[in-house]
A and B are shown apart, each in its own frame.
Chain A
Amino acid sequence: MSRIAHWIRANLFSSWPSALATLAVLWLAWQLVPPFVDWALISAVWRAPDARACREAHGACWAFIGEKHRFILFGTYPFEQHWRPALATALLIFLWGYSSLKRSWNWWLPGIWAAGLALIAVLMWGGVFGLAYVENERWGGLILTLILATFGIALAFPLSILLALGRRSELPVVRAASIAYIELIRGVPLISVLFMASVMLPLFLPAGVTIDKLLRAQLALILFAAAYLAEVVRGGLQAIPHHQYEAAEALGLSYWTRTLHVILPQALRFSIPPLVNTFIGLFKDTSLVLIIGLFDLLTTVKVSLQEPAWSGLGVEAYLFVSAVYFAFCYAMSRYSQGLEHDAPARALKGS
């Protein structure tokens, strides 16, 4: 008992300002937590045929989520085929989970990803093995968010390595072009790049050639993420001690051999934690495709709210979608923090 008392004294009431802060926080909690628990749990409506039961109650209307969860998670994908995006979502999450294990970091990994993504493409599009064809205008919900983020980071990565190398290149034209690209993209909001892809890109192409909306948004996300990732990779390149460059040069290795076999393997290892952070950023940023009318997770929620029978439930809906985004981003950020924790030890061991 005295240990608890001692802890409380040391951590909550160590000084007058500290004691006041503790009391202020407790008072605030007393004011806010009971009403919130009452709203979110005790008075909440969990099941209701329509919003009328919700309007009579004082609590949250979780029945809305129950009623609309299929549309929120899968968008306008044909209802009886929902198992396909569900399976694809599970597969994609499994791929990410598997890739996060250090013992999976070997040459099998790209192959496993290629197979996994091919399987997801078959599941989502169909048209083979007796699966009905579903055009990608009907894809929506969580799987669309995951696909945009996954392909965004995967395809931006090689581009970003080229940009980062270009920015540190000794060739003036290459360096100037890389700097211009990186700084231009980083200087403007993502929404302007998305507008560009959705409105301007069709003008750039010859008459008759069209790219669908999903692909255009995906292209914008890739081009956008590449600029930010390039800076992450550049940080990794700068973290390598200079004698590594000199030693490789002294061996008489050519630029590409030096880069591919000496510099990049080390630099990319340094870049993994900030790379995960960039991925979290991109994952959150995919929600902006709402503005150009793609049916991602946030759009399906917003569309559900537009139904007159369920209007006025924005707080419940956005809390729910926040929880989904939080689950993904928090898991990734914990993972990145764990890696950062390990990084110095591994660097010292020279592995």
Chain B
Amino acid sequence: MKRDWLYQAGLLAAAGLVLWFFVSNTIHNLETRRIASGFGFLWREAGFEIGETGAIAYGAADSYLRALGVGLWNTLRIATIGVVFATLLGTVIGLARLSPNWLLAKLAAAYVEVIRNVPLLVQLFFWYAIISENLPGPRDALQPLPGIFLSNRGIVFPTPWSTPELSGFNFIGGASLSPEFAALLVGLVTYTAAFIGEIVRAGVLSVGRGQVDAAYSIGLARRGALRFVVLPQALRLIVPPLTSQYLNLAKNSSLAVAIGYPDLVSIANTTMNQTGQAIEGIAIIMAVYLTISLSISAFMNWYNRRVALKGARQ
């Protein structure tokens, strides 16, 4: 026992020594480069414009803090919308893979294989190239459904209170998604859905055939068997890995910086380049993502306890 504590004290001392080495070097380096440390820069004028500001009013004269707030809003926006659509598409893919229809099952399997084996960043660039280089201008916008317009300016769609109309070189009215947001959303959703599809498939497969037969034998119809027998058992297996996919989607949304969607990482990157406050910038990014990760984990743990077996050991 005594040796254990000695061992741990040694480990702590070594870690402390490395930390002290880094910190003292950093302090020295910051002094020679005349960079003031601390978060005071957050209240200075940012001086750059942001393409999409969402719900937060922002101009170049506003502070860095406000700019980072816009970035956070944009990150939360893409992550929330992405999680909803990825779950829907992923469920469809997972169930399609289990379909008795051969064509549908093979198509879903091919989708999963292709999407999972190509880096997300390549897929984001691909979608962005399709939207910004290959879609026509607003005047010749594609109209897959009445009222929805696809053009190299992004996606325009109607809302209950306003319909988009072409006016001059762009659309007015309706709601719109910028090309960057649209590419990021399509990329994140299609990518994550491939992983969620596999989770859904494994979850449904885990419910034994005997369970389904038993459900039928006590007189439940197909709907009832799914609702009361298969789904509750499958969910128990699906929720934990689904949580990590949600976390992945939130973290992957940081690739926005590569296609110019102003998410938190992108704004923090600009801030670091302008102010030289690298440590503070990275600390902000990490703190925000850790908070998001922990919040998603906490929520999903709560949900997992709700769907878990009553009285089962967690």
Residues of A at the B interface (CB closer than 8 Å) are 11-12, 14-15, 18, 21-22, 25-26, 170-174, 177, 184, 186-192, 195-196, 199-200, 202-207, 280, 284-285, 287-288, 290-291, 298, 302, 312, 314-315, 317-319, 321-322, 325-326, 329-330, 333
- Measured in the bound complex, the distance between the Cα atoms of B151 and A343 in whole Å is 50
Q: Which of B121-172 contact A (CB under 8 A)?
A: 121-123, 125-126, 128-130, 132-134
- Measured in the bound complex, the distance between the Cα atoms of B25 and A212 in whole Å is 18
Determine the chain A residues whose CB is within 8 A of the CB of B40 once the complex forms: none
Binding-face segment, B43-51, B229-237, B254-262, B305-313 = B254-262
Chain B CB within 10 Å, residue with most, of A174, A186, A192: A192
- Measured in the bound complex, the distance between the Cα atoms of B90 and A85 in whole Å is 40
Known: A21-B103, A22-B101, A333-B117. A314 touches B126 (CB 8 A): yes
A–B Cβ pairs within 8 angstroms, 8 of them: A15-B100, A177-B15, A199-B282, A284-B118, A298-B119, A315-B129, A315-B130, A315-B133
Which of the residues B116, B125, B133, B286 comes within 8 Å of A302, measured between beta carbons? B125
Asked if B104 and A25 sit within 8 Å, CB to CB, the answer is: yes
Determine the chain A residues whose CB is within 8 A of the CB of B4 once the complex forms: 170-171
Which of the residues B28, B116, B293 comes within 8 Å of A187, measured between beta carbons? B293
- Measured in the bound complex, the distance between the Cα atoms of B122 and A326 in whole Å is 11
Interface residue B298 (Cβ < 8 Å from any Cβ of A): no
Asked if B117 and A187 sit within 8 Å, CB to CB, the answer is: no
Known: A18-B100, A195-B269, A288-B255. A318 touches B117 (CB 8 A): no
Known: A184-B290, A205-B25. A196 touches B282 (CB 8 A): yes
Asked if B117 and A21 sit within 8 Å, CB to CB, the answer is: no
Shortest distance from the beta carbon of B123 to any chain A beta carbon, whole Å? 8
- Measured in the bound complex, the distance between the Cα atoms of B289 and A188 in whole Å is 5
Asked if B25 and A287 sit within 8 Å, CB to CB, the answer is: no
State which size class the interface on B falls in: 35 or more
Asked if A284 and B120 sit within 8 Å, CB to CB, the answer is: yes
Total A-B residue contacts, Cβ distance less than 8 Å: 157
Interface of B is mostly: helix
Interface residue B221 (Cβ < 8 Å from any Cβ of A): no
- Measured in the bound complex, the distance between the Cα atoms of B133 and A314 in whole Å is 8
- Measured in the bound complex, the distance between the Cα atoms of B102 and A22 in whole Å is 9
Determine the chain A residues whose CB is within 8 A of the CB of B116 once the complex forms: 329, 333
Interface of A is mostly: helix
Asked if A21 and B104 sit within 8 Å, CB to CB, the answer is: yes
Asked if B272 and A173 sit within 8 Å, CB to CB, the answer is: no
Known: A173-B8, A187-B293, A318-B129. A325 touches B119 (CB 8 A): yes
- Measured in the bound complex, the distance between the Cα atoms of B119 and A119 in whole Å is 29
Shortest distance from the beta carbon of B268 to any chain A beta carbon, whole Å? 9
Known: A187-B294, A206-B25. A18 touches B99 (CB 8 A): yes
- Measured in the bound complex, the distance between the Cα atoms of B3 and A170 in whole Å is 13
In order of increasing CB-CB distance, the 5 nearest A-B pairs are: A314-B129, A329-B117, A11-B102, A284-B119, A318-B126
Asked if A199 and B272 sit within 8 Å, CB to CB, the answer is: yes
Determine the chain A residues whose CB is within 8 A of the CB of B285 once the complex forms: 188-189, 192, 195
Q: Which of B195-240 contact A (CB under 8 A)?
A: none
What would 11 more interface pairs be, CB under 8 Å, given A174-B8, A199-B278, A322-B126?
A191-B255, A192-B285, A192-B286, A192-B289, A195-B278, A196-B282, A200-B279, A203-B278, A204-B25, A287-B121, A314-B128
